[in-house]
Structure 1
Amino acid sequence: MAYTFPERLRPLREWLKKQGADVDSFVTDRQAAFMAQQLAGSRIKFPERGQPMFPVLLKIQEAISAAHVHEVDVPRQAKPSKAKPKAGKAKGNKHNVVDHAAFESGLHVFTDGACEPNPGPGGWGVAVYRDRAEIASDHGGNADTTNNRMELTALLKGIEVAKALGAPVVVWSDSRYCVDGCNDWRHGWKKKEWKKAGPKASAKNQEVKNVELWQAIDAALERADQITIRWCKGHAGIVGNERADELSNLGVASLVGVSPLREPVDYLTAEYRSRMAE
């Protein structure tokens, strides 16, 4: 049985149709809200499963109307903040990046994952840049996953691409879970045979969550001295991060029966794929 848009949401339904969405294929109001959010680029928080989605759909409709959104296939770039940083010690760790000049030259691989609701259908995206120009991209998804698993999958794909490039590469992720796990935690996990212990663990050491992905990442980073894993702030106007986010959403969209409005600029070339398979 298909989801029927209430009369009050008719403008949203018509807008979705104009974007290429098959509105008659939506089974639930949550699926309709998810696709509307992806296409509109809004960031409205969803309620718990089972709760009515009408308020969310209404907010998305209002956001579209307020922004006069007619074309959503052009990624929106966040405006730089004019606020002056507060005095004092900056929060975060050594992987923090706020200087966009860091992306001006060289090879950079941006990775991102998406999952909404979490757990639920998820997607991953990878965008490769050389001297500010996008040279390759890829995306995919999983019908039943979590946000962390998609972030890790994207990172693994990004590392594999970076290795194939055969030159110094910085792999960027906006997930501290991924970056701290790569640069710090995985070494301890590996020594403990991928078990974690501590005050939150039971008497018997617990296996690291998403262990198979962490093991694959660890193996991919072996003898990969030219690869650096770093953190960047998400949705801060960093073109590569915004592109990876867009690609991860395309990965999700492909799972729920809606054709993406804009295909990636360029998939990984045959050259890169053949080198990755070596």
Structure 2
Amino acid sequence: MASTCWACQRPAFPALHKCPPVGPHGRARQRFQRQRDAIGPSSSGNHAARTRIQSRFGLQSSAVMTSTCSPRGVSRCIKRSLHHLSEIYTILTNAEAAMSDTLDYTDVGLLLHVFTDGSFDPVSKTGGWAFAVFRGSAQVFAAFGGEARTANNAMELLAILQACEWLADNSAGEEAVIHTDSAYAVNGCVRWRHIWRSNKWRKRTPNGQGRSRSVADAAYWRAIDVLLNQNPTIKVKWCKGHVGVEGNEVADGLAQRGRLIGE
């Protein structure tokens, strides 16, 4: 059995094998050539497939890689494709959010829907929080407040904390959904709080040498974590803000009133 060339990974027959100068670029060219050989030359079939991709996703011809691209061209095509895929993902995400925002959240039986929001003035450093509770199509409760020398994310978290406390006191064991337009708060409630808790509410430094940074607003996160663990029927979901969703608009107006209290 013939040995294998370590540079191009092909059978190394002494009389027939020709390997380019050894080096990372030479090996990359060899790998690319094998991939291009596997694809085959450009054909009407490849062109038709490329046309379908372009028409479906609205891509430019430069964003679709062909079998005749050079290695540098492949790199450019990949970058362009990633850019266009990012745009496609954004469009699909926005479309999905828009579809969900057109729903009347209060039509889903008698499930409790709580809308929270925070307001913040960067000049005066004052903020407000609010939440509004809906059962069916009726608003059954609302509360708001304000604080001085605070931050925007802190107000978003305080609104969720107040909503969790109200649900725990007034509808323990009942399924409820808390809607917030803060992606930071949703990610924290759904994903990050479990990691932060295991790290004793500290974050790793960028160089990974230790856990020296405390989680921002750790007191709020600790309280929210306890309440969500004690009340697993409470879910936290994202709701796009300022698109006409009644509950979100109510919470937004109340949060602004709460901010005036904090001034």
1:101 aligns with 2:104: yes
1:143 aligns with 2:154: no
Equivalence for 1:159: 164
Summarize the Cα distance change of 1:161–1:235 in structure 2 as closer, same or farther, 3 Å threshold.
same
Summarize the Cα distance change of 1:202–1:242 in structure 2 as closer, same or farther, 3 Å threshold.
farther
Q: How many residues align?
A: 169
Q: Give the alignment's Cα RMSD to 1 decimal.
A: 2.4
Contact 1:109 1:172 in 2 (8 A): yes
Which stretch shifts more, 96-105 or 190-199?
96-105
1:115 to 117, 120, 125: 120
TM-score (norm 2): 0.59
Contact 1:197 1:205 in 2 (8 A): yes
Which stretch shifts more, 187-196 or 102-111?
102-111
Equivalence for 2:184: 177
Summarize the Cα distance change of 1:95–1:235 in structure 2 as closer, same or farther, 3 Å threshold.
closer
Summarize the Cα distance change of 1:168–1:117 in structure 2 as closer, same or farther, 3 Å threshold.
same
Summarize the Cα distance change of 1:161–1:102 in structure 2 as closer, same or farther, 3 Å threshold.
same
Contact 2:118 2:252 in 1 (8 A): yes
Which residue type is aligned with residue 179 of structure 1? V
Equivalence for 2:38: none
1:206 to 188, 202, 213: 213
Which digits, 9 at most, give the CA deviation of each residue in 1:215-249, with x for residues without a partner?
01001112212111100000010000000011111
Over 6 Å off, 4+ runs: none
Pair member with larger Rg: 2
Q: Identity percentage over the alignment? A: 36
Equivalence for 2:242: 235
Tell me, which stretches of 5 or more residues in structure 1 are unaligned?
A: 1-86, 257-278
2:204 to 173, 176, 197: 197
Which digits, 9 at most, give the CA deviation of each residue in 1:124-150, with x for residues without a partner?
011000112111000101021111111
The higher relative CO (CA closer than 8 Å, separation ≥ 6) is in 1
Tell me, which stretches of 5 or more residues in structure 2 are unaligned?
A: 1-86
Deviation at 1:103, TM superposition (A): 3.4
Contact 1:109 1:170 in 2 (8 A): yes
1:251 aligns with 2:258: yes
Equivalence for 2:226: 219
Which digits, 9 at most, give the CA deviation of each residue in 1:84-118, with x for residues without a partner?
xxx944237x9994341343232101111111126
